[in-house]
């Protein structure tokens, strides 16, 4: 039997720390602060897009993601096939962010009885479609019942030569800060979908108005992993000094590189690549376009740094934009506005522990 412990007079109950107070990355830091590695094969563990395991001539890259209904996806507007495709792609993107090649994947699924077998057929059709496109083998997983809703856990294995792996920690003062593609469109796609969902909830007879927004909605529902960038950079003789994929917003990812590399940065707002129509849509939603790029997330483009000496090689490469440079840590982390004002760079993107 458990004894009931009465509170002593004047005793102050310890204050418990809320998860929202910590935030996702604060929670990770807290939970893993006492983690130790016992095997020399573990070259890199927590703190990058993937763990790195020595496998002889090459290294294995291991990553995993958990997607929870109502937190990471909304089935009101997310088709099952798109959900499966996206669940696979976000993991493939982690391997691309390590400058590696994705190879094998496992998928674990917990679902409630409200889902039909046909719905799960569609989910796996999307997963298999992504595996076919990126030449990844689906090699296993697990299934379980769930009291309510759906949870998807995807783990992926990639590979690379030891000298090819790019970490978040390799940036140095003077390195150029670069990004692929354009940013902010996935967030605008989400806003459009949420707007049409609200209209539907008021009047189920109303048809969603999605025509003209195909690019933004596609970026949200069916993103692509930038596995092409590895070969592109090899072709021009560049290895990034640090790299990360953009899942939580440009500001957040830039700060991750700064923290892991022990450097500061100057990120030029006017250099951030934004699709012209996305820029106009942001204004319609009364959002500063650069804020959508800095804080929106889910673009799954690659943010990376290169040695300043590689400027001539990379400056004219289509689809890659130089948006700033790294500085000494003592110089701080700043966003430079178009009129030259330095504003402290802060992470205000999506946080899984605060966005409830």
| pLDDT attached to residue 350 | 46
Question: What is the DSSP annotation of 35-82?
Answer: -----TTEEE-TTSSSEEEE-SSEEEEEEEEEEEBTTTB-TTT--HHH
Instruction: Report the CATH superfamily, name and number, of domain 42-164.
Output: PurM-like, N-terminal domain (3.30.1330.10)
205 pLDDT band, cuts 50/70/90, is: low
Residue 280: is its pLDDT beyond 60? yes
Which CATH code is given to the segment(s) 176-344? 3.90.650.10
353 pLDDT band, cuts 50/70/90, is: very low
Q: Taking residues 83-109, what's their average pLDDT?
A: 98
Residue 59: is its pLDDT beyond 50? yes
Domain ranges of the chain: 42-164, 176-344
Q: Taking residues 184-205, what's their average pLDDT?
A: 82
User: Which segments of 57-150 does DSSP mark as H helices, in order?
Assistant: 80-96, 117-134
Contact 341, 267 (CB under 8 A): no
Parallel, antiparallel, or unpaired: how do β-strands 263-268 and 333-336 relate? parallel
Q: What is the pTM of this model?
A: 0.89
| pLDDT attached to residue 255 | 97
CA distances from 134 to 85, 102, 109, 261, 350 (A): 11, 8, 21, 30, 27
Contact 171, 136 (CB under 8 A): no
């Amino acid at each position: 039997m458990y004894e009931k412990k009465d509170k002593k007079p004047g005793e102050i109950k310890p204050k418990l720390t809320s998860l929202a107070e910590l935030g996702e990355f604060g929670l990770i830091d807290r939970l893993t602060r006492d983690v130790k590695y016992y095997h020399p094969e573990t070259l890199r563990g927590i703190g990058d897009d993937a763990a790195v395991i020595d496998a002889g001539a090459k290294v294995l890259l291991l990553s995993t993601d958990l997607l929870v209904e109502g937190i990471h996806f909304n089935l009101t507007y997310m088709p099952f096939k798109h959900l499966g495709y996206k669940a696979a792609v976000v993991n493939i993107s982690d391997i691309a962010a390590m400058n590696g090649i994705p190879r094998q994947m496992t998928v674990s699924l917990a679902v409630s009885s409200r889902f039909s077998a046909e719905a799960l057929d569609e989910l796996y059709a999307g997963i298999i479609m992504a595996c076919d496109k990126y030449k990844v083998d689906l090699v296993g997983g697990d299934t379980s019942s769930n009291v309510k809703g759906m949870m998807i856990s995807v783990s992926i294995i990639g590979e690379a030569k030891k000298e090819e792996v790019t970490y978040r920690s390799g940036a140095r003062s003077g390195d150029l800060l670069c990004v692929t593609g354009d940013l902010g469109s996935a967030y605008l796609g989400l806003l459009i979908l949420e707007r049409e969902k609200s209209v539907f909830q008021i009047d189920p007879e109303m048809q969603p108005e999605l025509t003209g927004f195909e690019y933004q909605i596609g970026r949200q529902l069916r993103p692509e992993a930038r596995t092409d960038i590895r070969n592109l950079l090899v072709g021009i003789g560049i290895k990034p000094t640090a790299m990360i994929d953009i899942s939580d917003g440009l500001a957040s990812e830039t700060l991750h590189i700064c923290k892991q590399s022990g450097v500061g940065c100057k990120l030029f707002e006017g250099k951030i690549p934004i699709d012209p129509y996305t820029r106009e849509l942001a204004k319609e939603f009364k959002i500063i376009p650069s804020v959508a790029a800095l804080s929106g997330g889910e673009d799954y483009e690659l943010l990376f740094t290169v040695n300043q000496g590689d400027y001539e090689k990379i400056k004219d490469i289509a689809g890659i934009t130089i948006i700033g440079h790294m500085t000494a840590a003592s110089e701080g982390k700043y966003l430079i506005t178009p009129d030259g004002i330095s504003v402290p760079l802060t992470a205000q993107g999506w946080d899984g522990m605060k966005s409830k």
